[in-house]
Structure 1
């Protein structure tokens, strides 16, 4: 194998490793935003409970009353409130799952419980960090291996078309 290939494998591994090493920081920022989302949902559900109590109904009877109304606007509000409760449950489940995640399971659980809007908002203001944690080093190592193998496969399948060999 030519020297340029070794360097290319290593550089690709380092690049992909550096990208992967950012996952724990992204996870931390995403988790904070998810917590803020849950706080807001909890406030909205508390307001719902107060409205329901003011009509001497439970939360669910209040929503059922709206959904069963002949008024289309009330029905839509009932559906909105049902979605609000579902979203609160989903975000709470995601937070509980992510709080208890081992570093090895973190990426899988983020993907499984991904809240697309929160992830997009996190990515828009994401601040990279130097990964000085075991988790960051682990993701760097995984990324390095993936990058190294990826470049090896690319050069196997496209040996001369992607890069022309230089004489050693």
Structure 2
């Protein structure tokens, strides 16, 4: 009788666990659009600063009768380690600027629902750290937040259901169908 009581409560316990996990995943996933928005705001500020740095570099090069490439080459030719390192940091800045401009264009071209995916595809470490550090979770009241909440909840519910089904043989149950069906099949 004890086993029947425990067995009767197990499905309810599984369902409660699944519901709690799905809700937690939904709430977590619902934060993705807000995080992407904060990342995008930081992206705009970073682009302004990087463009200013490169504009200053280009202006200094022009004032000395050099193109950008010629100025960078002069850093490479220098015997000074500091100037070599400075040339490398300017190249890194140019590469980062190009990457962030591409990301900014993707934000502009895509609907807000796709913004978390843009961030996830190629996050800038500095922007991600800053956005995460200042991020404050909020209740999603946008359609994007609700879509991500639903998707997160459904995804975790699916994964838990799959895990439950895969673990059935370990618990002495057939992988598909009920135990009664398996017993009935054996009796035939």
TM range (shorter): 0.7 to 0.9
Within the alignment, does 1:126 sit opposite 2:135 as a pair?
yes
Give 1 or 2: higher helix fraction: 2
**1:23 and 1:136 in contact (8 A); partners too:** yes
Q: Give how far 1:103 is off.
A: 4.4
- Confirm or deny: 8 A CA contact 1:98 1:110 kept in the other structure: no
Q: Which has the higher contact order (CA 8 A, sep 6+)?
A: 1
CA separation in 1, counterparts of 2:68 and 2:102?
20
Alignment of 1:1-168 (within 5 A): 2-157=11-166
Q: How far apart, in 2, do the equivalents of 1:141 and 1:35 lie? A: 29
TM-score, length of structure 1 as denominator length: 0.85
Displacement, 1:13?
Answer: 1.0
Could you tell me which runs of 5 or more consecutive residues in structure 1 were left unpaired when the two chains were aligned: 162-168
**Coordinate RMSD, CA, aligned:** 2.1
Q: Which runs of 5+ in 2 are unaligned?
A: 1-9, 171-188
Larger Rg, first or second structure (1 or 2): 2
How many pairs align?
161
Q: Which range is displaced more, 61-70 or 134-143? A: 61-70
Q: Secondary structure at the match of 2:79?
A: coil
Q: Tell me the distance in 2 between the aligned counterparts of 1:131 and 1:21.
A: 6
